[in-house]
Structure 1
Amino acid sequence: MKTIFDENLRTQLIERINTLNVNSTALWGKMNIYQMLKHCSTYEEMMLGKNQYQRVFLGKLFGKMALKEFTQDESPIKQKTPTLSQLKIKEKSGDVEKERKKWIALLNEYANPSDAEIVHPFFGKLSQEQVGQLVYKHTDHHLRQFNS
């Protein structure tokens, strides 16, 4: 399984991120480039254990089943997969370059993973292996969304 903890894969993702700019547009979804970059930075902060969010009710019911589906193979995350409300970015504009650099810096932190316990708001408690797989898939999903 592909994981963010693989240095070569992480480097490839960062190279793809470096192709994004203020003029990048989405192939699907409602986010603009700034919102996507900010969303991904916020997601990384959560997955690195810097921010924690309350578990959502549906996640308590279906989270483990959905996690199994997300991590069973290397298939990409489907288009229009719902975004957790905690990770939705309301502001429409901001510093694209700053958010791009922040996202890259956060991804580079996976080179030396912490042993923080990660509790995803939908999936619940995650192993390091699951964190690595989900971060890779989430990053790839949004890069494909912006044709990168």
Structure 2
Amino acid sequence: MSEREEVVRRWRREARCVPLARAELRKALAGWGLSELEEDALLVASELVTNAVRHAVAPRDREIETRYVRLASGVRVEVHDASPARPVVGAPHQDDDGGRGLHLVATLADRWAVGERVGPGKRVWAELSVKVT
């Protein structure tokens, strides 16, 4: 890979952006020859975008940005939102309907973190790589 490839899209902060963001990632992975990462990467993207839609405390007109970056051995999934509030990895109870998203991200990704971004808010990212067997 000679240059960094990325796909950047902006979405209205609505639940219907989640499947659209997944479709963009699926298309990018196929184009990069990384379809073997599809299942895990799509789940990670779903969790991160859903968290931004549900929990980002920001004006409704502020958009969510997804950034999918082709890495040498995989992909980085980034979700940017305008809320400065950092996500918290909770301890979900077995009977809870939610609260497991970041646990799934931590399990599926090689690494993930929350960081600064240009402009207000934060970016939450996760990297997944092709497993060499």
TM-score w.r.t. length of structure 2:
0.29
Higher RCO (C-alpha under 8 Å, 6+ residues apart): 1
